[in-house]
């Protein structure tokens, strides 16, 4: 046997041309279970405003579709080469605003690939491991300071000194972005880092002499 024949046989041995119905259904079933687990983690660790119905369905579909593609690739050499070529020219134009959503999509693809390739143990252990990371990160980051825009409308620009004294009292990070003076009132816009334990100072700023109204806006991308 020549080296060429040995290489040819080794390549062909890597493809299973006799996939049974049981193997196909098992791969798709494991990918579906992985998708449901990923969806459960997503809905319980991300904000409810982000958890839209379209993205929830996307999580389930991508996991199963990835498994179906890998099942096809592992069963036939010609189809695998053709599918790789076809997928290489696909371009997705949908913009994903949150990097966390991108990570969940990669998780779905990885779970689908491992399930379709028959590595069910890797799929299950990997999903559990990443799920634990998501849950732990949720509790760790929940108390971390997050950046907001604080819009304060007041009688005059001198009132801003009183507002900033409250920031300094609580040792908060803040930055004055805009300070405008109109005929009737002044308006200051601050970039502030709020954590849950600092939300009590909102009432302190509101009760400050000279402060008319105030608004807290989440300036992070949704």
**Which tens digit of pLDDT belongs to each residue from 150-200?**
889 988 888 888 888 888 887 778 888 888 888 888 999 998 877 665 666
Domain that holds residue 177: 146-218
pLDDT score recorded for residue 178 = 87
d(CA 58, CA 56): 5
Tell me the average confidence (pLDDT) per consecutive run of 10 residues in the chain, 222 residues long: 52 59 91 94 75 79 89 65 53 66 90 90 95 86 72 87 84 84 88 70 81 79 48
Query: Do 183 and 138 belong to one domain?
Result: no
Model confidence, pTM: 0.64
Task: Let me know whether 126 and 174 are in one domain.
Answer: no
pLDDT value of position 11? 47
- Total domains in the fold of the chain: 2
Residue 147 is predicted with a pLDDT of 78
Tell whether 37 and 131 lie within a shared domain.
Answer: yes
Non-local (6+) Cβ contacts of 195 within 8 A are 143, 144, 145, 146
**Beta bridge partners of residue 179, listed in sequence order:** 188
pLDDT at 222: 45
């Amino acid at each position: 046997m020549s080296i060429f024949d040995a290489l040819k046989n080794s390549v062909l041995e890597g493809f299973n041309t006799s996939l049974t119905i049981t193997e196909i259904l098992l791969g798709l079933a494991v990918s579906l279970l992985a998708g449901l687990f990923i969806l459960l983690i997503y809905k319980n660790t991300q904000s409810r405003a982000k958890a839209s119905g379209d993205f929830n369905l996307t999580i389930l579909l991508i996991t199963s579709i990835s498994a179906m593609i890998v099942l096809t690739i592992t069963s036939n050499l010609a189809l695998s080469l053709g599918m790789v070529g076809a997928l290489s020219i696909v371009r997705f134009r949908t913009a994903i605003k949150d990097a966390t959503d991108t990570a969940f999509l990669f998780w779905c693809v990885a779970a689908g690939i491992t399930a379709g390739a028959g590595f069910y143990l890797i799929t299950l252990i990997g999903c559990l491991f990443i799920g634990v990371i998501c849950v732990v990160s949720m509790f760790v980051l929940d108390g971390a300071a997050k950046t907001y825009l604080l819009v304060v409308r007041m009688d005059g620009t001198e009132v801003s000194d009183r507002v900033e004294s409250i920031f300094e009292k609580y040792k908060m990070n803040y930055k004055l972005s805009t300070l405008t003076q109109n005929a009737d009132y002044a308006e200051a816009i601050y970039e502030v880092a709020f954590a849950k334990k600092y939300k009590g100072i909102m009432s302190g700023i509101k009760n400050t002499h000279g402060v008319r109204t105030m608004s807290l806006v989440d300036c992070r991308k949704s």
